[in-house]
Amino acid sequence: MDSDSAPVHGPIAGTDIADVAGGTDTVLLDVDGTLVDSTYLHALAWARAFGAHDLTPPWWRIHRTVGMGGDLLVGEVCGEDVEDRLGDRLRSDWADRYRELLPEVRPLPGAPELVDAIRSAGLRVALASSGAAEFTDAALDILGMTRDDFAAVTSAEDVDRSKPHPDILGTALEAAGGEHALLVGDTVWDVESAARLSAACVAVRTGGFSEAELREAGAVLVVDDIGVLAQRGWRGVSG
Ligand SMILES: [Mg+2]
């Protein structure tokens, strides 16, 4: 592995964001697993929702599918027959279970700092989550932030198709008034949705995907978390 593609695990100066994603005017931030440490709680909520219907998919498969929208996750994990039969019921059950787990969701370090760094560099910053608006607002509370901290906040209800379709990113970019997006996300579904919008994706490892998977999916940079990213050079990105 040469130095240009070497992993960055600490707050080391090195690759500026502009080096991997120049020409961006808007940074779109994923929420779950990127700004808040909720990935495994989402997996738990889904496992409990599935279990209530005597469905026992393996945990790894649930975990690897979190980050995809709930409209797609059921079919991906349990098959289209289950989606057809129980999809809406499972999503409702999942929401109830996840709501119970919200007090356990913790912020990942660095969200306010990252938003400050991006805005200070003259870029727009918007939220682009596959999750429900209710849970995006809960995440903002957990972060001590508000919708006013962002140029736009887009959630699952704002589009017909969630990640890995690019609709959420496109809607967030337009709502923010930008033209060229960079996505910060934690899953291969984020990377895929960004690619479909011809946008670069910087990936964080806080969703539990490996660096190799994220790079293979096409992430232009992989760092441990947004705290690391907040310390990278954002000036010159809009170049
Ligand atoms: Mg995520």
The domain segmentation of the chain, as residue ranges, is 12-38+106-230, 39-104
Residue 14 scores a pLDDT above 60: no
Give per-residue pLDDT as tens, 144-179. Answer: 999 999 999 998 888 888 888 999 999 999 999 999
CA of 35 to the centre of ligand 1 (A): 8
CA of 185 to the centre of ligand 1 (A): 6
Residue 2 scores a pLDDT above 90: no
CA of 170 to the centre of ligand 1 (A): 17
Which stretches does DSSP call E strand in 129-229?
152-154, 181-185, 200-204, 221-223
CA of 189 to the centre of ligand 1 (A): 8
CA of 2 to the centre of ligand 1 (A): 28
Q: Which candidate, 57, 62, 71, places its Cα nearest to that of 42?
A: 62
CA of 190 to the centre of ligand 1 (A): 7
Number of other CB atoms surrounding residue 82 within 10 Å: 17
DSSP-H helix ranges across 32-162 = 39-51, 59-65, 70-78, 80-101, 111-120, 133-143
CA of 71 to the centre of ligand 1 (A): 15
pLDDT band at 17 (very low <50, low <70, confident <90, very high): confident
CA of 32 to the centre of ligand 1 (A): 4
Find the radius of gyration of the CA atoms of the chain: 17
Mean pLDDT of the chain: 91
pLDDT at 90: 97
Return the CATH number of the domain spanning residue range 39-104: 1.10.150
CA distance 101 to 105: 7
pLDDT at 239: 62
Contact (CB, 8 A) for 219 and 30: no
Contact (CB, 8 A) for 125 and 148: no
Q: What are phi and psi of 231, to 5 degrees?
A: -95, 0
Give per-residue pLDDT as tens, 35-79. Answer: 999 999 999 999 999 999 999 999 999 999 998 888 899 999 999
Look up the CATH architecture of domain 12-38+106-230. 3-Layer(aba) Sandwich (3.40)
Give per-residue pLDDT as tens, 203-233. Answer: 999 999 999 999 999 999 999 999 999 988 7
CA of 55 to the centre of ligand 1 (A): 24
CA distance 91 to 208: 22
pLDDT > 70: percent of the chain: 93
CA of 200 to the centre of ligand 1 (A): 16
Task: In the chain, count H helices and then E strands.
Answer: 11, 8
CA distance 188 to 191: 5
CA of 30 to the centre of ligand 1 (A): 5
